[in-house]
Structure 1
Amino acid sequence: MQELADAFQIARQTIIVFNPDDLTVREKLRLASIWNATVEEDVAYSLIGIFKSDIIPRYGEGDAALGHLLEEIVSRSGEVTVLSWIGKSSSYNSYLPATLAVYSEPPGSSPTINDVDMNMHIATLRNSLSQTDATLIYDRITRLPPSRFANRRLYLPCIVFTVRRLGTHVFANGQEHRYRARISGIGDVEFQTSDRLPLAEPRKLILVHPEVQRMTTCRHDGHLHPFHALLLQQQPNGEFKRVATEHEIIVPGMKYSINFTKDVRTEVVEIL
């Protein structure tokens, strides 16, 4: 039993009294991230029970099996941390990873705020934003519908930031590029990817934050809370594809002087 606990990096008692409902979605995916299977589809099919999934095994579908499972997990749980990963995108869909190995590390978390600091932040917000602005922000966030899937597309409610300028900062490994982007309402953000991005058409790129409820918290230094963003590139028909980056894109936060009607949008983005 202890050898099993060590292999899965989980408490021994958790295995002894194991109940899938006691683990979060992300914890289950972390446990599964170290599994291997002789048949590719079994990586997903072996999780049908632990996630109480309704997907039907169809051997021969390849990595689409994992795609079907992850889609159902997000649809049922609303857990958007499933989309928080770095690495290679699945051929099934760009918003999902090619392998469960990306979940071996926990998703980036924002620092917690104690009650005293929270009260101070709220007071700062009241002094920085008009009642109309605050209501506008709140209404935009709360009116967003939940995530859903249809025809192998993810319809993701999120807060959207437009890329205004894009440049190549340095080259790495001859294959990966490090970019520096100027983001509306945020400032400069750097990221690394093997994808070739349109330097002449930066507005085809957007940064999105799917954990919209966390955007209402703030910091005492005049910024809204830092967060982990996804980078998306617009396609010819208006949909978007995720740009798989080599590292998490950490956005420092938005300034209180931001123009919420000009610099920030809240909408449902269609991702292929």
Structure 2
Amino acid sequence: MQELAYATGIDPEALVTFHPGMRGAREKLQWASKRVTTWQEDIAYSLFGIFGVHLPVIYGEKKQNALGRLLQEIVARSGDITALDWVGKPSEFNSCLPANITSYEVAPCTLPSLSEDKIQTAVSSLHNTVAMELASKLYTLLHNTTAPRFANCRLHLPCIVFPVTAIKRRRDQDQETYFTYDVKVDGLNDLLITTEEKLIQFSRTRPSRQSLLLVRPWDRSLLELPDVADDMQSVDDCTPPASPSCDSLTGFPAEYGLDHSETHRRALRLIVHLGQPFAAFFLAQQWGGEYKRIASDHDIIAQVRDMSAVRDMMDVRTLEIL
């Protein structure tokens, strides 16, 4: 097993417990990130069995198209957005997908996580600073958000939206391949973003005609629902989870049987999680109203300015991304 692990780069335990399917999609893509095939389309086709999918094999199509068809199937059928976590060049198939599978070679950025004690402390402090009605409304809004889906190569992505208010290019750069920008965003700490794209500089006093957004793709696991494990795709079930019905008084799922104190606690825990650093997407609106992802040469890690920015997190939309 150790020899197999060394040859494949796959952990021995994963080799022993492997089952075809969508679970752990990002890790499986990392396993295949160094794969080399005679026909470029086979980089995607050879992964059909690993993910348990059946798609048309069309030799002669572009590598990006073959990989794009596989990745859209993974996202659409599982509701798992980890396949959108990559750094590199965007695909012609869809800007939220990578042009090459090598973009998955580096593991996703590991963000710091709070201990249970720190979460409890933060929840206690929020009792006095965050209106319970506002927290419950946000929880309900995110609970009722649908899963991501693809249609005609366009990604319909549910996310929390933060408008970009200013972009300024840094001039002290030795190379012209990438450009570094100071980016200001409503509700978030200031950011540095490096990209191959030449962006138009603007500010609040000199606004841009083009809408630029920083978004947090919605991760349903942050709701900490009692049956969260059942929401994930199993090997045999390829239907994205549906949104349960909600109690009209609290806005929380009625079938969970939660009392008011428990629903309030879950709402505040959600606020705590949303206050932690997160991997963000940088989007630019196109002429037709859709958006395009602006790829960066590094993970874009954003964080809300403070807990008073809860109202900024109420802007939840499903954006259409080309």
The residue that corresponds to 1:196 in the other structure is 198
The residue that corresponds to 1:226 in the other structure is 277
> How far does residue 187 in structure 1 lie from its aligned partner after superposition?
2.9
Q: Say what the alpha-carbon RMSD is for the aligned residues.
A: 2.2
Distance 2:318 2:90 in 1: 21
Equivalent AA in structure 2 for residue 125 of structure 1: L
| CA distances 1:40-90 after superposition (whole Å, capped 9, x unpaired) | 100000001110112111111112010000000011111101111111001
Q: Residues 14 and 264 (structure 1 numbering): CA distance in 2 closer, same or farther, change over 3 Å?
A: closer
| CA distances 1:2-34 after superposition (whole Å, capped 9, x unpaired) | 443213222345435643359611111011101
Structure in which a larger fraction of residues adopt strand: 1
Q: Residues 263 and 26 (structure 1 numbering): CA distance in 2 closer, same or farther, change over 3 Å?
A: closer
The residue that corresponds to 1:6 in the other structure is 6
Distance 2:209 2:97 in 1: 24
Superposed, 1:37-186 pairs within 5 Å as 37-62=37-62, 63-170=64-171, 171-186=173-188
The residue that corresponds to 1:207 in the other structure is 214
Identity of aligned residues (%): 36
* Equivalent of 2:302 in 242, 248, 251: 251
TM-score scaled to structure 2, two decimals? Answer: 0.77
Given that residues 22 and 78 in structure 2 are in contact (C-alpha distance below 8 angstroms), is that contact kept between their aligned partners in structure 1? no
> How far does residue 101 in structure 1 lie from its aligned partner after superposition?
0.8
Distance 2:7 2:280 in 1: 32
More relative contact order, 1 or 2 (CA 8 Å, 6+ apart): 2
Flag structure 1 segments of 5+ consecutive residues without an equivalent: none
Equivalent AA in structure 2 for residue 177 of structure 1: F
Higher mean C-alpha displacement, 112-121 vs 32-41? 112-121
Distance 1:67 1:112 in 2: 32
Q: Residues 70 and 258 (structure 1 numbering): CA distance in 2 closer, same or farther, change over 3 Å?
A: same
